[in-house]
A and B are shown apart, each in its own frame.
Chain A
């Protein structure tokens, strides 16, 4: 369908969907689910604002900001990896894929460190309504990060042998990882910033 439309202007480089369109369905659907969780959180929050604010004061914004920047960097790295793979520079693509995994690991370590810190402060899953949502959203997101490691493993496996190297699969994996990133961007705003 799109090809027909595009063939009229030959000068423009062909527009194409990055990765499998199937993955885009997942991205939008999963993000919609998270939007559902956020909506519930925001609506409940307004019912009991002071309690939420009180608990929220225990979060350290610096860790959140650091983690956001780490994930943004990982997203940047995987975007570079896709460009490099497209240009046929597989060595460089591998480096960027490894960097993505590295950023992801740093994120996970700081996330778990933050949990341990909060638990030491006495803020557990059952201690307050805000922390219910905090642990729920962050752990569900961390599960996405862990699945992301499997996905990045698939990406690296694709890049390693000249026999495989399907650009479509590389882009599909990258799309998943960006989803992990932008979900965190929203979770970060929801948990740390919203007043």
Chain B
């Protein structure tokens, strides 16, 4: 944690070993709540990547065009990975809460109405259910019994992938809420380019809609357009806001006015010492 700006009520930063510093930060760091949420977010996205791409292997998604025996075989091969992987997902998906709270806080810190923060908070809290947990439940049930009627297993397969890719509105409207807040904001919490990037992210949710319609080709749920290009945008967008939130926390002064510029702020602090 690079910003140990000591506030009056915090005791002097002791230095010492890594562990001591960590303990000091947990006990006294003025921004500990924000850093907590930020680290939870980073850990969450890392776990998300590992669980979805490596453990359960549901990303990149298999094809919707497979015939029934192939789908059954896929569930067979991934039986243990799916069940344990999604077990971990069920254990940790509550980490969305601090993440969404931090995103809502960024809007709360802006010079805009509280409507934005609360709308975003509720929308994204809702989003995790159809967008992640229902998918995980459908996958778990699909993998649960290998001797189930194959037709039903295919039904679970469709249910899982379509609920995952096909949950669009909450992310679409959520991104728009955030970007409008950024454009209206006068406190400089986020740069304007991130708002425009948010528009790109919102449009990916439009682009994914044909996944509900096509079973093969570029627009299917594993297609070049509906999955690959969208994934690139999503990863860039997520990486951008992780970095920008970090910068926001570093600049945070717990006031209500514009967030100070990091370069401009360095001078007075030095002068005060």
Chain A interface residues toward B at CB < 8 A: 20-23, 25-26, 29-30, 33, 36-37, 40-41, 44, 125-126, 129, 132-133, 136, 140, 143, 147
Contacts and interface: CB of A to CB of B under 8 A. Distances in A.
A22 B240 CA distance: 14
B217 A129 contact: yes
Contact of A136 (B193, B200, B210, B233): B210
A33 B199 contact: no
B49 interface: no
Interface stretch (B111-119, B120-128, B218-226): B218-226
B217 A26 contact: no
25 contacts: A20-B192, A22-B191, A22-B192, A22-B193, A22-B195, A23-B193, A25-B196, A26-B199, A30-B199, A30-B200, A33-B229, A33-B233, A36-B229, A37-B225, A40-B218, A40-B225, A44-B218, A129-B217, A132-B210, A133-B218, A136-B210, A140-B206, A140-B207, A143-B203, A147-B199
Contact-residue size bin, chain B (C-beta under 8 Å from the other chain): 20 to 34
Nearest to B194: A22
A-side binding surface: helix, strand, loop or mixed? Answer: helix
B197 A29 contact: yes
Interface of B: 191-193, 195-197, 199-200, 203, 206-207, 210, 213-214, 217-219, 224-225, 229, 232-233
Contacts of A33: 200, 229, 233
B206 A143 contact: yes
Nearest to A139: B206
A30 B202 CA distance: 12
B219 A132 contact: yes
Contacts of B232: 36
Given A44-B218, A143-B206, A26 B200 contact: yes
A117 B193 CA distance: 39
B217 A132 contact: yes
A41 B217 CA distance: 10
Nearest to B191: A22
Nearest to B229: A36
B192 A136 contact: no
A126 B217 CA distance: 11
Nearest to B224: A40
A8 to B, nearest CB: 25
A126 B229 CA distance: 21
A29 B218 CA distance: 20
Contacts of A132: 210, 214, 217-219
A30 B203 CA distance: 10
Contacts of A136: 207, 210, 219, 225
A65 B214 CA distance: 30
A112 to B, nearest CB: 17
A25 B196 CA distance: 8
Contact of B229 (A23, A37, A143): A37
A33 B201 CA distance: 11
